[in-house]
Structure 1
């Protein structure tokens, strides 16, 4: 599962496309393969404009915290990697991240403050380390898609 999703994101990034709305509801299954869908918010990197505070697109649980911290922040490959990290965690847990949190300002503040889901007991250490690196608060500390793969 993780390999299919990561390979799909690698393909998009190789074309200089960022998804900007990567989450489990945008993953489809076709012939036992997982495919990234809903490219409606996707853009070429060169076309990305700055963030507008009143214009939050996507599911909060998967949005790069930098988006909430800096109104001039542009979603980028590192933003997709953050979302991928949350998605990798979701694969091990079997449920939507932060399902017990309210989806309001407090939730945003929790994410902005570095709050993340707890690792799932029994998750292989290397896999856990990988998704935690992906959801690092600092975008430049996140691995690129080649390292994730």
Structure 2
């Protein structure tokens, strides 16, 4: 078995690196010279912005009970998932959305108070007035900290 010297190995690695960089530059140049590149880039950015706007919660039609129920379940699931991932602010926002469309917010808040850590529940209680002012319905009941034990 023949031994390859360190010099030969270094030269081979240098040649492979140069070929790889040349490959990258060549295809980047081809991509940028494509007449549709800027159009595709703008379209991709526009779609990303649209998706970012769509990720925020949209208020369902309050007359459609199924839509409200689906929205409620979706917001609770998203809130729990985000809290599980460590995104406390996002989770609290989605839970506040769920409370705002809930038919019995006091009972839901009591359950959340028992299941959530105290600091997260406190953030939820702080978030509720801003969510209610954002255009969510009031459900003919105002939620205050006195309503929750």
TM over 0.5: no
Would you tell me which structure has more strand in proportion to its own residues?
Answer: 1
Structure with higher Rg: it is: 2
TM-score, with structure 1 as normaliser: 0.23
TM-score, with structure 2 as normaliser: 0.23
Q: Which has the higher contact order (CA 8 A, sep 6+)?
A: 1
Would you tell me which structure has more helix in proportion to its own residues?
Answer: 2
